[in-house]
Amino acid sequence: MSGNSWLMLAIFVLGAGSLIGFFITKTEGFGRFAASTLLIILVVTVAALLYAGGKLESQVMANVLFAVFGFAGGLFTSKNSG
C-alpha cells in the first residue's frame, strides 16, 4: 500500500472510532449538542478523506475547518434563550 492509502485508512479509522465513541457515550435522544457533535464529526472526517485523496484543495479544507471551529464555538458559547 502507498503512503496515501495508509493516510486515508488512518483517517477513516479515526473517524469511525470517533463515531463509535460518540454513540457509545451519548445519552438517549438527539438534542442540540448531540446532533451538532455528530455533524461536526461527519464533516471533518469526510473533508479530511477528500483532502487526503487529493479531491479537495488546501484553501477549501482551511475554509471547512474554519467553518467547523466557528460552528462549534458558537454552539458552546451561545446563551440559551427563554
Does residue 18 lie in a domain region?
yes
How many domains would you assign to the chain? 1
Query: Cα(23)–Cα(46) distance, rounded to whole angstroms?
Result: 18
pTM of structure? 0.79
Does residue 57 lie in a domain region?
yes
- Predicted pLDDT of residue 80: 60
Q: Which residues of the chain have pLDDT under 50?
A: 82
User: 3-state DSSP: the chain helix, strand, coil percent, rounded to 5?
Assistant: 80, 0, 20
- Predicted pLDDT of residue 78: 63
Does residue 42 lie in a domain region?
yes
Residue 25's domain spans which residues? 3-77
> Which amino acid appears at position 52 of this protein?
A
8 contacts: CB under 8 Å, gap ≥ 6: 49, 52, 53
Does residue 66 lie in a domain region?
yes
Does residue 82 lie in a domain region?
no
